[in-house]
Amino acid sequence: MDALINKIKNEGIVINENILKVDSFLNHQIDANLMEEVAEEFYNYFKNDNITKILTIESSGIAPAVLCGLKFNVPVVFVKKSVPSTITNAYQATVHSYTKNKSYTASVDKRFLNDEDNILFIDDFLANGEAFRGVESIVQQSKANLCAVGILIEKAYQDGHAYIINQGYKFKALASIESMNENQINFIK
Ligand code: G4P
Ligand code: NA
Ligand code: NA
């Protein structure tokens, strides 16, 4: 998606070969117009897949996921990274983030996923895919169908990309990074 790739080229800061900083339009300040274009792009790609629910993870997945919710006209659920005292009955999975070198309990209240749901998972980044595996476990527990995966920015050389492809999910990344260093970001065409 050209608009997203151009935004990354203009405003992205490569911290090291594993971390791209995009806090001016995605992870801190949010470009709402760009998020709307992102949702339009995902809608064009997945509109015939009978999606009944959008699923994402807090916090940075929520903005693009909500705009997808508008396009698909379905509810948006986000995985929580802490277990709130108000949740009494939840699907849970332990996620270890290599990026942050810590683990957390991902949870979704059982009221918000069920065996009739056909889910599109949306997230801002795909790296090693640890968060994705937690989501996959939660969806399996709920007996919903994980139909498709939409990622804004993937670093295709990390493990998450191959994992999702090997599992056979319908997959779309709007910006696929092949490699990056302080001077350059190379996108897969
Ligand atoms: P991991 O297995 O390598 O730990 O990666 P995972 O995909 O689970 O991502 C862990 C966190 O790091 C996620 O955010 C993800 O969005 C973020 N992340 C991964 N790679 C990059 C990157 O290159 N740049 C930036 N800016 N973030 C990256 P999170 O900690 O779950 O939280 P939030 O930002 O969504 O609140
Ligand atoms: Na994220
Ligand atoms: Na993030």
pLDDT value, residue 84 = 74
129 appears as a binding residue in the annotation? yes
Q: Is the CB of 21 under 6 A from ligand 1?
A: yes
pLDDT value, residue 100 = 83
189 appears as a binding residue in the annotation? no
Tell me the CA–centroid distance for residue 142 and ligand 1, in Å.
24
- ipTM for the complex? 0.92
pLDDT value, residue 87 = 75
pLDDT value, residue 40 = 98
Cβ-based burial of 2 (10 A; exposed 0-12, middle 13-18, buried ≥19): exposed
pLDDT value, residue 81 = 95
pLDDT value, residue 77 = 98
**Residue closest by Cα to atom 12 of ligand 1:** 99
Q: Is the CB of 82 under 6 A from ligand 1?
A: no
Q: Which domains does the chain have, with CATH numbers?
A: 32-178 (3.40.50.2020)
Q: Is the CB of 63 under 6 A from ligand 1?
A: no
Positions in the chain whose pLDDT score sits under 70:
none
**Residue closest by Cα to atom 3 of ligand 1:** 128
pTM for the predicted model, two decimal places: 0.96
